[in-house]
Structure 1
């Protein structure tokens, strides 16, 4: 975005407002780092989209390799000439400063997977390949970065959760449901833009292509799945809070873990309200006001990425 477009559109995109509603209770330093990282993620997503639209396979390949490298050694990429890479390195380095190295390694492992999922999406889109529903849902968990946003609950709570807690079904199920809701609601709100742009990555598009649904039926089915996420989350949330109670065994560590799980589960709930609010307030989804329903007006189509 050139300076004039930043002035006109940036505040209306509400990227940092979105994070402020996700990670309540986080310190100001943690919340700012997460908000900046989230804003970077949206910019990266737009760069990826423009590389697809313009067939810039070489540019995307270089960016993919540079992001992998910056994730492994962020300090060495702070002054990279591609500002997207430098911004990523800055965000990662800041996020790595809050919790132990084991959390950093997990975050890195999860984001390497996200980068590769974006590469898979790049290939699907350039080849015009529309994945089947189950294939799409599995890939979407990585392109939406389900486990990254769940990982970030922990610095928000000020505590790294051990595997025995984090992988327990009582914790993992509401975490997954909160992210599925967010991803599928995003698909619902993005559907007009993505149909206009001949997209291949959207739950609604997979349902239309592989299940033979009409547009109206696909919208109803995505909405049904979204609503089911809400009802199932409410049940899973109760189990998670009982799990948090059981963790408080009277020890200092038990009390700390119980409080951290309660904080994380509370913010899983906040994803629902924040995602809903964001998609109806952010200019990113107001396609009916755009001259071209497939291209956001804040994107500089000709100059995005490298030449």
Structure 2
């Protein structure tokens, strides 16, 4: 049974007390894009078509992982074709993250290096990589061709610039894992903004509104602060929820792990500190969004362009708000974080543990 319905914030799901955030449940109503049922079906078919997951894994796990729920709860006002492209890209991102994890676990430095360079190349010229023999590269290229079709060349170059940085951050994570290096808290927080792809998900707010924001608006302190807080919440709440999974998998990248390793905190103290930071993000966002609303109001200067920009900024803010509820519930519904149900707590059952990345 679904835990929520279109436009509803209701849920029958019991959240563990240590992870429960009443302010999110009360102040951030949960919404879902009306295209969601077709979105789930189409993304499942796309994963099969692009051979990104074995057919048996798709059949058994794809729906339960709830990747489409996460995106459909975020970009709720996006046109259907934009929503579909974002959902497929997000599913690809999770599969890429799993490949990166397995390459690190098995010490496949050569395989990771090849993939890294191929993704950089596909990002700059996706049309040339649509039929690459590595499904992960071909699937990424397909996503980029579609995402690049919605707005102008400036947006495409900005997105590419941001994702090149994400790929390089994943490389730094790979090297840390191979060497067993736990980054300091400051190093981790800087790296996390890239590996969680803060600016990628923020960039995608614009095609969701059908409007590329003027640089002065996009870089306005009120707008950037609200966007950053929504992403920091998501990244740190993910750390809070995935800490058991990542400790079991000998991960070195988690705010809690950095606090334990470098600050001398116990596991219990680290969980408390990460939770404090998560709650602070929520409080600060509730204050920051008022500045974005004032910005949107100031943009409505009586011109058509001003009105359009004002409406787009307001829509972006609404979707930033959606990120809180969507991320929150995703972590309690997705099989990606149900470590206690896995046969091997260090190996997700939805990944092809040995073969992935071996090409």
| TM-score bin (small chain) | over 0.9
Could you list the per-position Cα deviations for residues 64-88 of structure 1 after superposition, in whole angstroms to 9, with x for gaps in the alignment? 0000000000000000000100000
- Tell me the distance in 2 between the aligned counterparts of 1:72 and 1:6: 29
Structure 1 position 203, deviation (Å): 0.2
Q: Deviation per CA, 1:4-28, whole angstroms, max 9, x where unpaired? A: 1211111000101110010011000
Aligned partners of 1:67, 1:300: CA distance in 2, in Å?
A: 20
Q: Which residue is equivalent to 1:37?
A: 89
> How many angstroms apart in 2 are the aligned matches of 1:83 and 1:305?
10
- Counterpart of 2:166 (choices 102, 105, 114) is 114
> How many pairs are equivalent?
307
Greater Cα offset, 296-305 or 126-135: 296-305
Q: Which residue of 2 aligns with 1:181?
A: 233
Pairing 1:230–2:230 present = no
Bigger shift: residues 183-192 or 1-10: 1-10
**1:254 aligned to 301, 306, 315, which one?**
306
2:68 equivalent to 1:11: no
SS in 1 for 2:189: helix
Query: 2: CA distance between counterparts of 1:63 and 1:187?
Result: 26
Over 3 Å off, 4+ runs: none
* Unaligned ranges ≥5, structure 2: 1-52
Match of 1:47 in 2: 99
Q: Distance in 2 between matches of 1:8 and 1:221?
A: 36
SS at match of 1:159: coil
Equivalence for 1:240: 292
Note the aligned Cα RMSD (angstroms). Answer: 0.6
Deviation of 1:302 after TM superposition, in Å, equals: 1.3
Cα offset for 1:3? 1.4
1:104 aligns to 2:156 (yes or no): yes
Q: Within 1, Cα distance between the matches of 2:203 and 2:57?
A: 32
Superposed CA deviations along residues 210-267 of structure 1, whole A, max 9, x for unmatched, are 1110000000100000000000000001111111100111111100110000000110
SS of 1:92's equivalent in the other structure is helix
Residues 22 and 271, structure 1, Cα contact 8 Å, conserved in 2? yes
Are 2:207 and 1:155 equivalent residues in the alignment? yes
Structure number with higher helix proportion: 1
Matched, 1:198 2:254: no
Unaligned runs of 5+ in 1: none
Following superposition, the deviation at residue 139 of structure 1 comes to: 0.4
Aligned pair 1:78/2:152, yes or no? no
Quote the offset at 1:49 in angstroms.
Answer: 0.3
Secondary structure (helix, strand or coil) at the match of 2:83 reads helix
2:121 paired residue number: 69
Quote the residue 1:207 is aligned against.
Answer: 259
Question: Displacement of 1:2 after TM fit?
Answer: 2.0
SS class of match (1:22): coil
Query: Is the CA contact 1:193–1:295 (under 8 Å) kept in the aligned structure 2?
Result: no
Partner residue of 1:164? 216
Q: Report the equivalent of 2:24.
A: none
Stretch moving more, 291-300 or 132-141: 291-300
Normalised by the length of structure 1, the TM-score is 0.99
Q: Using the alignment, how far apart are the partners of 1:134 and 1:80 within structure 2?
A: 38
